[in-house]
A = this chain, B = another copy of it.
């Protein structure tokens, strides 16, 4: 998706909200804000996800916290497990468990601290309940049909906590067909390997990381191993807005499952803010070229907790 200029003021606002969440030190808040303004002034303004990745790197750099959302992610996992039995029962007893499991996986996409930096974990149960009852848009029939035929499904996860609602859906599929993909390093509250472990997914199916610490899937910044898997998979399912923003024009079929959180994505995808959407990408070769993020400053994420 070609980002709008409107993404820039929104991300500048996010940079301030996020820094405030991590530190009350106004000098650091000002430093990150100032650096964000300076970086954005030189960036291709259509590449908002790059700015987002960069902002979170600055927050980590200046606050000295490698994973500022660690506690929030753990709390989201705990809260999601608390809700899991209730929702599993609702879904399994419903008239269309698979469709409702998809609906729940998308509804769980509300656990997002990027767009909504002031989300309270304790509000998650009620917001989730409301989200589950939002309109489900898109071609769910085609999605389920593709799902039934695919033998190698790459499932690009979005946030910690949300992953436990993804699990509800994945449990209804053949786990041998599924590979869940998490981020290699902290990107807002995006799920990492430890969140996949917390969700019990590593015991259920294969889990890999994408080699990057940016939101969505910035392919030029991901590991070659992941990119290879991405190209070859029978089916790619990508959760959340950031994946839509970064992958929508890529020349291979991708099924996006997301909750629409901003009017620009809503306009692009043809559904209102708040909708739960199943969307298969459409693309042309020229669009795909436009989408490409030039790898002028490729920085692989080096996990400080890993050797090598």
A37 at the interface (CB under 8 A from B): yes
Number of copies of this protein chain within its complex: 2
* CB of A36 to closest CB in B, whole Å: 8
User: Is B5 in contact with A30, judged by CB distance below 8 angstroms?
Assistant: yes
CA distance A6 to B117 in the complex (A): 14
Report the contact-size class of chain A (Cβ under 8 Å from the partner).
20 to 34
The interface stretch among A38-46, A73-81, A133-141, A227-235 is: A38-46
* CB of A25 to closest CB in B, whole Å: 12
CA distance A26 to B12 in the complex (A): 20
CB contact list, A1-48 vs B, under 8 A? 5-6, 8-10, 12-13, 16, 26, 29-30, 33-35, 37-38, 40-42, 45
CA distance A35 to B40 in the complex (A): 10
CA distance A37 to B45 in the complex (A): 11
Inter-chain contacts of A12 with B (CB < 8 A): 8-9, 12, 37
* CB of A137 to closest CB in B, whole Å: 27
User: Is B37 in contact with A41, judged by CB distance below 8 angstroms?
Assistant: yes
The 7 closest A-B pairs by CB, nearest first: A37-B41, A38-B41, A9-B13, A9-B12, A37-B37, A37-B40, A12-B12
